[in-house]
Chains A and B, each alone.
Chain A
Amino acid sequence: MKQRIHHCLVATVLLATSFAGSTARSAETITFSEHIAPIVFENCASCHRSKEAAPFSLLNYRDVQKRGELILTVVEDRYMPPWHVQSKDYVFQDHRGLTETEVALISDWVESGMAEGDSSKLPALPKFTGGWQLGEPDLVVSMKEGYTLYAEGPDIYRNFVVPLNLDEDKWIQAIKFRPGVRSVVHHSLFYYDTSGDARQRDAADPVPGFKTMGRGTERGGAIGGWALGGTPKMLPDGLAYRLPKGSDLILSTHFHPSGKEETEVSTVGFYFADEPPSQRFTGIQLPPVFGALAGINIPAGDSAYTKTDSFVLPVDVKAFGISAHAHYLGKCMSMTATLPGGEVKELMTIPDWDFSWQESYRFDGYISLPAGTRLDSEVVWDNSEDNFNNPNVPPKRVR
């Protein structure tokens, strides 16, 4: 606890200096048209426009001025734009985030009364391509039936089975996921299942889909995922996921009830490679299994239950992406690579885990990890009352 308080001080001091720095700018010169619109159009408008996931548009002066204080709060909090991973050593593609200077500009603008300025200086809105950004997919499928979720209550995790009826193996280069009701679909992880097991579970459950978090299928594999605001991407250099013939697609979807009942029908577009790829890739998961199998046994009230794992790469690896996965009690997560020469690189840290954003991140280019590199991962769980996501009040032991 002591330690935390200390850190808080550090954090507040940092904030304070950035404020002090920002007031040096003469505030009345800051206008929406010239200074704020470029930041908002670039960093917010992709989601904050009609038919996208965010609840309101931020596309003009009035949209932004009327929510000035709220916008300042969410950008100072680093709650918007949503971004949850960091690395000192590597850059992620599609990184979202405002610089200190941009936040300070917004702060000064809000505090100085939010002038509109000369509207002829307004930048053009970025061009957004709706629909299938990667062109017409090779295969489009939808959930067979709508799933109706309640207006309020805990978040829902549910798996939906979509038969693909493929009579030959395919190679997936990209998947585009289109939620039916954007305000309630938070993310979806994709799996394939060749065992028919998922179909059976679906049939056994009277409501469309079936429960259990994560994948819930034995013979199959992960083939990517989508999180709110995500845009589809081709795998690099002709890499592709194998999709065996006869597979069912499993959408493992996280919903966020919105205050009214909604019925979701998700649609998925596949982009296939013409030929099998010449190179293969694989995922390395640390710890390799979750939950009971990983020996997790978190006492009630423990606010920092920590589990570490490591793995030495037997071959040279080129890494291009990374993701993290934890449930309600996850708090922070990190992975480092100790290169054979002893140099330690931070692959990823998710400092303030928000379990609702299970995203995967693509590195900007490949990261070379020679054979002999040691990967270390650390996951910290918070099973105390202070963890808002704790499903148990008071906390209970979790195994």
Chain B
Amino acid sequence: MRVFKNHCSIGVCLALSCLGAIATAGEKALPDAVEDTSVSILDIEGQERAPFQLDEAKASVLLFVTQDCPISNAYAPEMARLRSEFGSKGFALTLVYVDPDVSRNEIAEHMKAYSLTGYVAIADRRHDLVKATGARVTPEAVVTLPDGAIAYRGRIDNMYPSLGNRRRVITEKDLRSALNSIDQNEAIDRVRTQAVGCYIPNL
């Protein structure tokens, strides 16, 4: 009987130690601010966008996504809610599609299928926005303030404790709470969290 118990805890711990490995790899020298806030890029409609230049908006919320990552896709309903709730509170929300091979057409189809229409969407095929923010995973949120400071970076919530594990009950809604804090001019509780998902595909 003993033997089995040992097996069991090794299994569990292996998963934990791997999680640790991801976390440390992800924390290497990420920028605390966007250096060049003038970066501009076309959205999928062909309109010029400068996501770090905020005229009126309180903050820019970039959601890094891939069209074929199951974790990124599982967040589509929450992304749609975030846009309708925080868009009207003066936040600029943008979907950043980071697969270097994705076409504008595929993005438009994906947005339709996942009820994400209404978002400004950018095909970041050369990873300009990925590099500017240090995003590593999809889905990952980066929130920048008018001065370029990265106010929040990380997960949307804690639905996925690790790849392949989904929590039945979400207990931490980190992005929402960061946006609410910005909205109310309060300090953000946790400014950095670990996004769990698919690593951003290589160029």
Contact = CB atoms under 8 A, between A and B. Distances in A.
Interface stretch (A127-135, A230-238, A388-396): A388-396
A284 interface: no
A34 interface: no
B10 A11 contact: yes
Interface string A63-83: 001111110011011110000
A73 B163 contact: yes
- What band does the interface of chain B fall in when counting residues whose beta carbon is under 8 Å from A? 35 or more
B16 interface: yes
B29 interface: no
Given A73-B22, A352-B15, A393-B171, A380 B8 contact: yes
A15 B17 contact: yes
Interface string B74-115: 111110000000000000000000011100000000000111
B199 A260 contact: no
Given A11-B14, A55-B69, 18 more contacts: A3-B9, A4-B9, A7-B6, A7-B10, A55-B68, A68-B202, A73-B22, A74-B164, A76-B21, A77-B15, A77-B163, A78-B14, A183-B70, A259-B114, A352-B8, A388-B165, A388-B168, A391-B169
A245 to B, nearest CB: 41
A385 to B, nearest CB: 9
A10 interface: yes
A12 interface: yes
Contacts of B115: 151, 260
Interface in A253-311: 257-260, 304, 308
Residue of B74, B115, B171 with most chain A CB atoms under a 10 A cut-off = B74
B73 A66 contact: no
Given A77-B18, A78-B14, A332 B8 contact: yes
Contacts of A308: 1
B13 A73 contact: no
Given A55-B69, A258-B74, A391-B169, A334 B201 contact: no
A258 B78 CA distance: 12
Nearest to B166: A388
B40 to A, nearest CB: 25
A224 interface: no
A52 interface: no
Interface string B156-167: 000001111111
A154 interface: yes
A139 B70 CA distance: 34
B7 A334 contact: yes
Nearest to A65: B202
Interface of B: 1, 4-18, 21-22, 68-70, 73-78, 99-101, 113-115, 161-169, 171, 198-199, 201-202
A325 B90 CA distance: 49
A68 B16 CA distance: 22
8 contacts: A11-B10, A259-B77, A332-B8, A351-B10, A354-B164, A354-B165, A388-B166, A392-B169
A349 interface: yes
A391 B168 contact: yes
Contact of A260 (B76, B78, B164, B201): B76
Contacts of A257: 74
Given A7-B13, A390-B168, A76 B18 contact: yes
B10 A70 contact: no
A316 interface: no
Contacts of B101: 62, 66
Interface of A: 3-4, 7-8, 10-12, 15, 55-56, 62, 65-70, 73-74, 76-79, 86, 114, 151-152, 154, 183, 257-260, 304, 308, 328, 331-332, 334, 349, 351-352, 354, 376, 378, 380, 388-393
Given A67-B201, A260-B76, A10 B10 contact: yes
B70 A258 contact: yes
A393 to B, nearest CB: 4
B198 A70 contact: yes
Given A68-B202, A70-B199, A351-B7, A8 B69 contact: no
A349 B7 contact: yes
Nearest to B170: A393
Nearest to A56: B68
A12 B9 contact: no
A229 to B, nearest CB: 14
A73 B14 contact: no
B168 A8 contact: no
A53 to B, nearest CB: 10
B7 A332 contact: yes
Given A328-B168, A391-B168, A152 B74 contact: yes
A77 B164 contact: yes
Contact of A259 (B5, B75, B165, B198): B75
B124 to A, nearest CB: 14
A334 B5 CA distance: 10
B164 A79 contact: yes
A183 to B, nearest CB: 7
A320 B74 CA distance: 38
A258 B73 contact: yes
Contact of B4 (A154, A183, A349, A391): A349
A352 B11 contact: yes
Contacts of A393: 169, 171
A15 B78 CA distance: 37
A8 B7 contact: no
Contacts of A79: 163-164
Nearest to A86: B7
